[in-house]
């Protein structure tokens, strides 16, 4: 303070040494006169000196490099230049700007640019036990032409390993992240630093005291690769490994006496790789759940089976995954329809057009199924033959051929034809009862529904399959003959 005491004002000079800690702090100024004391504050930000590295950072060349590397820092941007043949094999050669660390860590940086001429020049984040060329390490490295990868050396002097191959078309600018949790190392990349994609996760035996920072190699010992990094952070206390659950599909419709399946997937978070035990709750009366397997590290097939007297309606089934104190859930919407008694001969009438399915009197495979005004004619008559799990053949009384999706297509808009019964599922339909007494017919192969395109009233319109919307052109009344 100049002066140190005053009746009016004083000039405060704050001076940072060359090794002062960087960052932002609140400085409190206190004024005292006898028993009177008052304060004010100043927000002070200390940046690293332009051209130098922030306090606690060190730069060094690792291994045998052809050209000395360097690292500098200015305005929140690290610029690191490195020569070296590669970060690979049993011994590495590159430039490394790093901090000394201890224990679990999260290392994040955005590789803003790199100018190496070799397609496998590499820049990224690394946690490394020591600066020896054959040290154990884990890294997430990005190249100017070949994408991003997670590479590790699991033991000292061993050959480095690319865990998941090169993920192509992921090029700078790109965020990279490496998380250490005990001996588990997990690598990620991101386009925005918010939504992360996991590359891989593995175990590396590494001392608690290690190093973490920015690694750059030219993949060419006669040149330099210069990379710029921003949004760099190295922080301790890596988040604990965890998991989430997902189901596919998330909704099932089954008939009394039938079953349906959904795949339950364990999604690892922060390198999680334990076994999860699965259970189901919220099952309607008469419905049972079977997981295969019941405990898994990856995925399980859930089969929900309804007895012939199972309660009908829609219920939310909760799937719970448990590993010790970790518990997570996902849900499946389950609809159980009443058993349908389709004995007899029917005309199948569309709600939108008022017309009925018509095989046009054709007796051959491939003939389009259209619609016609309801009259007494075997061309318009159909029978239902059960197959399995609540599905039926819709069989023409005229031709004894079935209503089939053309070319076994799974695309919306594919036409409906008649064809001999096969085994591909495109000729099997699940009737789902609607509240107005009509039915929606869901194809086993495609999951799409039988429809009158656009609710057409033309008798020449070929029926098709569409994504279910609940529209009247997708609802059918059964007229017993």
Task: Specify the DSSP class assigned to residue 278.
Answer: E
Q: How far apart are CA 372 and CA 479, in angstroms?
A: 14
β-pairing, 251-255 vs 326-337, is parallel
Q: How far apart are CA 72 and CA 228, in angstroms?
A: 10
What top-level class would CATH report for the domain 58-236?
mainly beta
Comma-separated ranges of CATH 2.60.40.10 domains in the chain:
242-337
Which pTM value belongs to this model?
0.47
Comma-separated ranges of CATH 2.60.120.200 domains in the chain:
58-236
CA angle, 470 then 476 then 477, to 5°: 130
Residue 473 — φ and ψ, nearest 5°? -75, -5
Contacts of 432 (CB under 8 A, 6+ apart): 253, 335, 337, 439, 440, 441, 442
Residues 174 and 114: beta-carbon distance below 8 Å: no
Q: How far apart are CA 481 and CA 479, in angstroms?
A: 6
Comma-separated ranges of CATH 2.80.10.50 domains in the chain:
346-480
Q: How far apart are CA 309 and CA 322, in angstroms?
A: 31
Instruction: Write out the H or E segment, with its range, that includes residue 102.
Output: strand 94-102
Q: How far apart are CA 225 and CA 142, in angstroms?
A: 12
End-to-end CA distance of the chain: 104
Residue 50: per-residue pLDDT:
45
Residue that has been written with the tokens 């010992």 in this structure: 221
Q: Look up residue 404 and give its two tokens.
A: 């089939």
Task: Specify the DSSP class assigned to residue 379.
Answer: G
Q: How far apart are CA 69 and CA 23, in angstroms?
A: 27
Number of H helices, E strands in the chain: 0, 37
Residues 275 and 266: beta-carbon distance below 8 Å: no
Residue 238: per-residue pLDDT:
54
Phi-psi domain of 413 (left: phi exceeds 0; alpha: psi -120 through 50; beta: other): left
Residues 2 and 15: beta-carbon distance below 8 Å: no
DSSP 208-254: SEEEEEEEEE-SSTTS-EEEEEEEEEEEESPPPPEEEEEEESSEEEE
Q: What is the pLDDT along the chain (481 residues), one digit of tens a residue?
A: 889 899 999 999 888 765 566 667 899 999 999 999 999 999 887 655 545 788 789 999 999 999 999 999 998 899 999 999 999 999 999 999 999 998 999 999 999 999 988 999 999 999 999 999 999 999 999 999 999 999 999 999 999 999 999 999 999 999 999 999 999 999 999 999 999 999 999 999 999 999 999 999 999 999 999 999 999 999 875 566 789 999 999 999 888 888 889 999 999 886 688 899 999 999 999 999 999 999 999 999 999 999 989 998 899 999 999 998 899 999 999 988 877 778 899 999 999 999 999 999 999 999 999 999 999 999 999 999 998 778 899 999 999 999 999 999 999 999 999 999 987 899 999 998 887 889 999 999 999 999 999 999 999 999 999 999 999 999 999 999 9
| Pick from 137, 142, 146: nearest CA to 88 | 137
Residue 378 — φ and ψ, nearest 5°? -65, -20
Residue 454 — φ and ψ, nearest 5°? 65, 10
Residues 336 and 462: beta-carbon distance below 8 Å: no
Residue 269: per-residue pLDDT:
80
Size of the chain, expressed as the number of residues it contains: 481
CATH superfamily of 242-337: Immunoglobulins (2.60.40.10)
The domain at 346-480 falls in which architecture? Trefoil (2.80)
Alpha helices of 278-365 — where are they, by DSSP H?
Answer: none
């Amino acid at each position: 303070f100049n002066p140190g005491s005053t009746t009016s004002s004083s000039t405060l000079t704050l001076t940072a040494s060359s090794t002062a800690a960087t960052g932002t702090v609140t400085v409190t100024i206190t004024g005292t006169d006898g028993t009177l004391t008052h304060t004010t504050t100043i927000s002070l930000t200390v940046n690293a000196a332009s051209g130098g590295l922030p306090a606690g950072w060190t730069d060094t060349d690792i291994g045998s490099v052809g050209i000395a590397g360097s690292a500098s820092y200015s305005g929140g941007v690290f610029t690191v230049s490195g020569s070296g043949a590669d970060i690979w094999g049993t011994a590495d050669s590159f430039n490394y700007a790093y901090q000394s660390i201890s224990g679990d860590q999260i290392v994040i940086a955005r590789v803003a640019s790199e100018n190496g001429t070799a397609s496998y020049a590499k820049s990224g984040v690394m946690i490394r036990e020591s600066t020896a060329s054959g040290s154990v390490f884990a890294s997430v490295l990005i190249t100017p032409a070949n994408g991003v990868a997670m590479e590790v050396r699991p033991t000292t002097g061993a050959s480095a390993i690319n865990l998941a191959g090169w993920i192509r078309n992921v090029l700078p600018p790109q965020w990279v992240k490496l998380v250490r949790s005990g001996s588990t190392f997990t690598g990620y990349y991101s386009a925005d630093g918010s939504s992360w994609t996991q590359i891989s996760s593995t175990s590396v035996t590494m001392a608690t005291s290690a190093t973490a920072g920015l690694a750059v190699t030219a993949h060419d010992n006669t040149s330099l690769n210069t990379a710029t990094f921003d949004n760099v952070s190295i922080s301790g206390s890596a988040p604990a490994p965890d998991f989430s659950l997902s189901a596919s599909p998330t909704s099932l419709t089954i008939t009394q006496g039938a079953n349906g399946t959904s795949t339950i997937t364990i999604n690892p978070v922060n390198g999680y790789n334990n076994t999860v035990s699965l259970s189901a709750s919220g099952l309607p009366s008469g419905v049972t759940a079977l997981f295969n397997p019941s405990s898994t590290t990856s995925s399980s097939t859930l089969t929900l089976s309804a007895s012939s007297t199972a309660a009908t309606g829609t219920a939310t089934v909760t799937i719970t995954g448990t590993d010790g104190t970790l518990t997570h859930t996902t849900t499946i919407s389950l609809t159980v329809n009443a058993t349908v008694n389709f004995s007899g001969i029917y005309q199948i009438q569309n709600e939108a057009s008022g017309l009925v399915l018509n095989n046009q009197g054709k007796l051959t495979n491939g003939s389009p199924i259209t619609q016609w005004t309801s009259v007494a004619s075997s061309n318009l008559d159909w029978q239902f033959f059960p197959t399995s799990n609540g599905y039926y053949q819709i069989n023409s009384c005229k031709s004894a051929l079935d209503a089939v999706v053309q070319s076994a297509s799974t695309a919306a808009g594919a036409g409906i034809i008649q064809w001999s019964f096969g085994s591909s599922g495109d000729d099997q339909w699940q009737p789902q009862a609607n509240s107005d007494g009509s039915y929606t017919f869901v194809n086993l192969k495609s999951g799409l529904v039988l429809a009158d395109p656009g609710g057409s009233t033309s008798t020449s319109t070929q029926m098709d399959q569409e994504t279910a919307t609940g529209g009247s052109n997708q609802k059918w009344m059964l007229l017993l003959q």
